[in-house]
Amino acid sequence: MRRWSVWPNCRSWCKPMYITDVVTLPRFCFGRGVYRRFPELCKGLGARFALVGGNTAMEKGLPSLKEGLEGSGMQLLCALPFGGACTLAAMDALTAQIAPMRPDFLVGMGGGKAIDTAKGVAHRLGIPLVSLPTLVSNCAPITALSVVYREDGPFDRFLFYDAPPALTLIDLNLAADAPARFFRAGMGDTLAKYIESTFSARGDELGGALDHMSAIGVSLSSTCYDPIVKFGRQALTEVERHEAGPAMEMCARSVILSAGLVSLMADDNYNCALAHAVCYGLQHFEHVERDDLHGDLVAYGALVQLMLDGQADKARELRAFLVSLGTPVTLAEMNVPLDKAALHDALVEATTGPDMAHIPYPITQDMVFEAMQRVEAL
């Protein structure tokens, strides 16, 4: 994702001022027990910090973080629990709580929604963010945007920032201890990055539309697909055993680093397409938004995109892999009716959402519905 400037207190996703050829790459540390390096790696950010995190994430991660802080002189001002969706209201409320403390930097701990919320808070406060993901469920820990939802559930907008978090620490032991379904969803979200990036860049390779940095990002997207299809089943088995094994580490790097680097290096036009649009469309069903994970829905959306694009063999290959993980691959498994009228809002979102702003050919609601029918029959 190329850098868009973001106005303070921005209330809508927009593309205000394009800053050409500015790409800020992430600073990160992957490993086991990495929180003991927190003081060393955060030294340049200041000594006083606040933390926003999910309840479960803080329960599991705070003891290790506090242990790493011992004798460092760093001060944790507060640890505020975050639960629910990443919304503008949540960002505003947390900002109001933290602002009087005047921290030097902010820490976001947890999954993608917690970290995306922390990004918005840090931006409002004008301070750096350190992300501590405790789930391997998406690339949010190193990206420069927040996916914002409405108070009633469905997707609302994107908020773009000038740079990714100042530092990301990924403790593989914590990630392996999380429920395996989150890891599975992270792999689904990530492999779709390759399918969507190559699709949205089609036809732009020559003539200057696909700039060099975006071309690098799109090429890198293959590392979001190949390692996961090759090692993903073994990785999920390791996580089910709460083991941070070699396959788990390989796929975790794909989920967080490979997908995140594609997001940072490629223009927003080449980051998402129909797979994500289908995901946000299906979230118009209240039970889907409540019960189904983002990455599982994106993986289903990737099947729809492949079938719509005439890549039936690739769709079958992907379906077989997803079935081996236990990922839902049909609407029936999500208790969503294969009925065009019932799917109306989902189809509207899938064809008009921001992820469909740059695609190689027009896609209609009928085309998406027919692709869903073909996925159901695979």
Structure confidence by residue, pLDDT tens digits, 321-351 = 999 999 999 999 999 999 999 999 999 999 9
Distance CA 180, CA 245 (A): 14
| Percentage of the chain modeled with pLDDT above 70 | 94
Provide the whole-model pTM.
Answer: 0.88
Confidence bin at 7 (pLDDT 50/70/90): very low
Joined together, the tokens standing for residue 129 give 């963010």
- DSSP letter at 47 equals S
Distance CA 329, CA 333 (A): 7
Write down the pLDDT at residue 154. Answer: 80
Mean pLDDT taken over the chain: 91
Q: Dmax of the chain from CA atoms?
A: 63
Write down the pLDDT at residue 207. Answer: 66
Name all domains of the chain by residue range, CATH numbers in brackets: 28-176 (3.40.50.1970), 180-377 (1.20.1090.10)
